[in-house]
A and B are shown apart, each in its own frame.
Chain A
Amino acid sequence: MNGRTAPAPADSPTSAARTTATPRVVVTGLGVIAPNGTGTEEYWRATLRGESGIGRVTRFDPSRYAATLAGEVKGFVPRERLPNRLLPQTDPMTRLALVAAEEALADSGVDAGQLSTYAAGVVTAASGGGFEFGQRELQALWSKGGDHVSAYQSFAWFYPVNSGQISIRHGMRGPGGALVAEQAGGLDAVAKARRHVRDGTALMVAGGVDGALCPWGWLCQTRSGGLSPQTDPQRAYLPFSTEASGYVPGEGGALLVLEDARSAAERGAVHVYGQIAGYAATFDPRPDSGRPPGLRRAIQLALADAEVTADAIDVVFADAMGLPGPDAVEAEVLAAEFGPRGVPVTAPKTMTGRLLAGGASLDLASALLSLRDQVIPPTVNVPDQAAPEALDLVTEGPRAAGLDCALVLARGYGGFNSAMVVRRAA
């Protein structure tokens, strides 16, 4: 299938802002750290094989909490991957982010010593910040007193900590900061980075790596109302299933290197995974308003931004919340926009859990890898589909397909909807 382009309608919000030469922004590097694999290729191999990283929480005894399953990153030894001086000042999720950023930059082939002259920047997605670090310092405060709080607390927990640490480690002096919209933030951060590249920043690291697998973070997450109470890892996170009972949280995510397509070509970038072609974000109206949720509009606006019509989309990476109501909304929206079973839909996050601000960025990485390898990763553990007439859910092993354009969806707790279109490099 071709990525057929359609002129944006005259009243499209994006058309007027476009000049004739909006620079194309491409992804030239990926760094992944996920419950089912550390590093892009290890993650991708596991994902195509349908290997799940979900299991009973091991970091603490989860027995007393309303949920006991998580996607934990395994076999990660921080002192083997990071300089010693960074360990006392970093939350576990920041350590994962630093390793993912290192991988993404190495993958891009950019000379790390040249980053400051690139005025490279970093935008990350966050949720609760460095929550485990924060729990330790709260414990010190309350059990021992204020003088026992670490000098690092002032920044180790805060929302943009990963951006700051990545910027410092790699000498990146361009725009920085963080966005928070729970799951949706993982796409919003990449979109913000795309705008910085369009404005002249040559290179941006963007995405989310997140997690809060400490008891205090866990208790907060169980109050989302969305966690599955199931204890069998194969029966817990079953989006679009008749037995959907909630989701499983996890840790990890992905960081991407974004560059202007022309400068990437000029420097002879090793990989061009694809173009960030379209994006939009919307917010749901108050539930009692009688107005429809914003997911479908986010999709339509993202397609318009990418200057494609729905039939150009070859695969959808669904938000797949795993709760009957939100799953039904997403299935209806996809069927309405693409036609019943009109496009393959998948949710590889059934193997990782939902990674707070990291999950949508990981889906974006998966979508780009799908474009590279012309294969759609599976959705695991969903034997009995709730809406088989609406969704062509990829539940078998990986499905080979001709893929030019992928759509990634993310919904954030509270009503955030984001959609992003990625297109295979020409």
Chain B
Amino acid sequence: MSNTHDARRVVITGIGVVAPGDVGTKPFWELLTAGRTATRTISSFDASPFRSQVAAECNFDPVAEGLSRRQIRAWDRTTQFAYVAAREALADSGVSGETDPLRTGVMVGTACGMTMSLDREYAVVSDEGKLWEVDPAHGVPYLYDYFLPSSMTREIAWLAEAEGPAGVVSAGCTSGIDVVTHAADLIRDGAAEVMVAGASDAAISPITVACFDAIKATTPRNDEPETASRPFDRTRDGFVLGEGAAFFVLEELGHARRRGARAYAEIAGYAARCNAYSMTGLRPDGKEMADAIRAALDRARKDPKDIDYINAHGSATKQNDLHETAAFKRSLGEHAYATPVSSIKSMIGHSLGAICALEVAASALTIEHAVIPPTANLREPDPDLDLDYVPLVARQAQVNTVLSVASGFGGFQSAIVLTDPGSAQ
């Protein structure tokens, strides 16, 4: 479909990451390209009563990250991650001091918002579930900030001195793509020339673990935490809950060029669909995801054969990996078999709304460094999954065009196409 905003192009000029393992983009990329995993037995609370006791946790020390005591007290871990990742992205881009606050905006993606604080504070004010009419005498002053995930947008906006369009985009586990594409749309529409956009989730908390236990979506492989996330493997049995954040500085191409900024990748195309089928289930045919992929390629003016690498959703549930493989075949045809596909969730778990932003970061870094991160723990191929999933070992490859996709609860399906900004004329 021709559209109203092809005149302006949007590039990524800064990346910031808080991922399982050590904080920062560099440790993130080293972990991924080494094929190491950051999954482990949950350490933040006693998970022994739960079915799934494994998670991918960030080695995050807010004091070491320079947060003030007040920030540490008042901010949920999700906000802390978002702030630290956005700060790195801004520094990486070098854009500070070169922005017009009125033309700079902030969009934050999240699936779970301040779940960890809400879980903890609920337990206090309800006296561990005894009171329906929770007791205000024990409520902290930050509860409305925890109620509203948009409270973290405020902190990023103040950090970035942004007074343009701002908000939260949430579409469950596709949030990390949808927030980047929404921010890119705002630049293309002319509502902003710089957007700080990304996603954050830190919800490794009893209520989250319990609700995924209830639908058996997470792995029960508690005795092998380091190899528990097994996308595309025959023995896969659910995802490993993760946490993290990735933020970007997105700029209008002309703005980036005028200041001589490095561009990692161009946001070339994207699309979102709903499957209108189930809040949690996926049909095996992958039809709506395939439709989103085709629409994203059209918008990027790319053919299936242009795709050099697919950064997959690859959650390691039985259902997802079949659904997604079908979607790649349906949308790319024969070229699906010739395209490397990998899932970084094998190494850093599934951080819900944040993961797609981490996957966009990995996709941009793949273009930048010409290295495709592998699918760790893929030792026993599933006969029903017959694409090239880049098992175990990273692969050197010239990558100009990356497709990244996501599926989420609610039936949401999203696809984004990133291209090498050098190759884009």
> Hey, which chain A residues are within 8 Å of B398, CB to CB?
none
> Hey, which chain B residues are within 8 Å of A282, CB to CB?
102, 163-166
Q: In the complex, are the beta carbons of B411 and A168 less than 8 A apart?
A: yes
Task: Provide the bound-state CA to CA distance between A409 and B174, in Å.
Answer: 30
Residue among B125, B145, B150 with the most chain A CB within 10 A? B150
**Would you call A155 an interface residue if the criterion is a C-beta within 8 Å of the partner chain's C-beta atoms?**
yes
Taking CB as reference atom, which chain B residue is nearest A125? Answer: B167
> Hey, which chain A residues are within 8 Å of B8, CB to CB?
16-17
Q: In the complex, are the beta carbons of B167 and A181 less than 8 A apart?
A: yes
User: Least Cβ distance of B136 to chain A in Å?
Assistant: 6
Q: In the complex, are the beta carbons of B191 and A280 less than 8 A apart?
A: yes
Q: Mark out the residues of chain B between 376 and 393 whose CB falls within 8 Å of any chain A CB in the assembled complex.
A: none
User: Least Cβ distance of A116 to chain B in Å?
Assistant: 7
Task: Provide the bound-state CA to CA distance between A147 and B188, in Å.
Answer: 47
Of A28-36, A170-178, A268-276, A381-389, the one touching chain B: A170-178
Residue among B148, B280, B288 with the most chain A CB within 10 A? B148
> Hey, which chain A residues are within 8 Å of B3, CB to CB?
198-200
Q: In the complex, are the beta carbons of B150 and A146 less than 8 A apart?
A: no
User: Least Cβ distance of B288 to chain A in Å?
Assistant: 6
**Would you call B207 an interface residue if the criterion is a C-beta within 8 Å of the partner chain's C-beta atoms?**
yes
Chain B interfacial residues counted at CB < 8 A: 96
- Write out, one digit per residue, whether chain A residues 91-106 have a CB within 8 A of any chain B CB (1) or not (0): 0000000000000000
Q: A180 and B126 in contact (CB under 8 A), knowing A281-B166, A297-B102? A: no
Chain A, interface residues (CB within 8 Å), range: 35 or more
User: Least Cβ distance of A55 to chain B in Å?
Assistant: 19
Q: In the complex, are the beta carbons of A126 and B170 less than 8 A apart?
A: yes
- Write out, one digit per residue, whether chain A residues 213-229 have a CB within 8 A of any chain B CB (1) or not (0): 00111011111110000
Q: Mark out the residues of chain A between 119 and 156 whose CB falls within 8 Å of any chain B CB in the assembled complex.
A: 119, 121-122, 126-129, 131, 134-135, 137-147, 149-155
Q: Mark out the residues of chain B between 129 and 147 whose CB falls within 8 Å of any chain A CB in the assembled complex.
A: 129-130, 132-136, 139, 141-147
Q: In the complex, are the beta carbons of B409 and A154 less than 8 A apart?
A: yes
> Hey, which chain B residues are within 8 Å of A14, CB to CB?
189-191
User: Least Cβ distance of A418 to chain B in Å?
Assistant: 9
Number of A-B contacts (CB under 8 A): 301
Q: In the complex, are the beta carbons of A281 and B171 less than 8 A apart?
A: no
Task: Provide the bound-state CA to CA distance between A131 and B134, in Å.
Answer: 13
User: Least Cβ distance of A135 to chain B in Å?
Assistant: 7
**Would you call B65 an interface residue if the criterion is a C-beta within 8 Å of the partner chain's C-beta atoms?**
no
Task: Provide the bound-state CA to CA distance between A192 and B169, in Å.
Answer: 11
Q: Mark out the residues of chain B between 98 and 121 whose CB falls within 8 Å of any chain A CB in the assembled complex.
A: 101-103, 105-106, 110-113, 118-119
Q: In the complex, are the beta carbons of A219 and B215 less than 8 A apart?
A: no
User: Least Cβ distance of A129 to chain B in Å?
Assistant: 8
Q: In the complex, are the beta carbons of B154 and A415 less than 8 A apart?
A: yes
User: Least Cβ distance of B16 to chain A in Å?
Assistant: 20
**Would you call B394 an interface residue if the criterion is a C-beta within 8 Å of the partner chain's C-beta atoms?**
no
Task: Provide the bound-state CA to CA distance between A182 and B151, in Å.
Answer: 9
Task: Provide the bound-state CA to CA distance between A261 and B276, in Å.
Answer: 25
> Hey, which chain A residues are within 8 Å of B118, CB to CB?
134, 138
Identify A220's interface contact among B143, B170, B409, CB under 8 A: B143
Q: In the complex, are the beta carbons of B143 and A180 less than 8 A apart?
A: no
**Would you call B60 an interface residue if the criterion is a C-beta within 8 Å of the partner chain's C-beta atoms?**
no
User: Least Cβ distance of A117 to chain B in Å?
Assistant: 12
Task: Provide the bound-state CA to CA distance between A271 and B163, in Å.
Answer: 37
> Hey, which chain A residues are within 8 Å of B288, CB to CB?
173
Q: A22 and B4 in contact (CB under 8 A), knowing A172-B276, A219-B139, A284-B163? A: yes
Identify B143's interface contact among A16, A158, A219, CB under 8 A: A219
Task: Provide the bound-state CA to CA distance between A223 and B138, in Å.
Answer: 12
Task: Provide the bound-state CA to CA distance between A132 and B50, in Å.
Answer: 24
Task: Provide the bound-state CA to CA distance between A200 and B271, in Å.
Answer: 11
**Would you call A267 an interface residue if the criterion is a C-beta within 8 Å of the partner chain's C-beta atoms?**
no
User: Least Cβ distance of A317 to chain B in Å?
Assistant: 20
Q: In the complex, are the beta carbons of B412 and A223 less than 8 A apart?
A: no
Identify B136's interface contact among A129, A131, A139, A222, CB under 8 A: A222
> Hey, which chain A residues are within 8 Å of B169, CB to CB?
177-180
Q: Mark out the residues of chain B between 6 and 53 whose CB falls within 8 Å of any chain A CB in the assembled complex.
A: 7-8, 49-51
> Hey, which chain B residues are within 8 Å of A135, CB to CB?
122, 132
Q: In the complex, are the beta carbons of A64 and B150 less than 8 A apart?
A: no
User: Least Cβ distance of A425 to chain B in Å?
Assistant: 21
Q: A17 and B7 in contact (CB under 8 A), knowing A151-B215, A154-B409, A177-B178? A: yes
Task: Provide the bound-state CA to CA distance between A216 and B146, in Å.
Answer: 12
Q: In the complex, are the beta carbons of B211 and A283 less than 8 A apart?
A: no
Task: Provide the bound-state CA to CA distance between A200 and B1, in Å.
Answer: 6
Q: Mark out the residues of chain A between 251 and 280 whose CB falls within 8 Å of any chain B CB in the assembled complex.
A: 280
Q: In the complex, are the beta carbons of A140 and B214 less than 8 A apart?
A: no
Task: Provide the bound-state CA to CA distance between A297 and B103, in Å.
Answer: 11
> Hey, which chain A residues are within 8 Å of B50, CB to CB?
146
Q: In the complex, are the beta carbons of B280 and A155 less than 8 A apart?
A: yes
The 12 listed contacts between A and B (C-beta, < 8 Å) are: A131-B147, A138-B126, A146-B210, A150-B211, A159-B149, A160-B170, A164-B279, A164-B410, A216-B126, A220-B143, A220-B144, A282-B164
Top 9 A-B pairs ranked by shortest CB distance? A164-B410, A143-B129, A142-B129, A200-B1, A177-B171, A180-B168, A146-B210, A159-B170, A220-B147
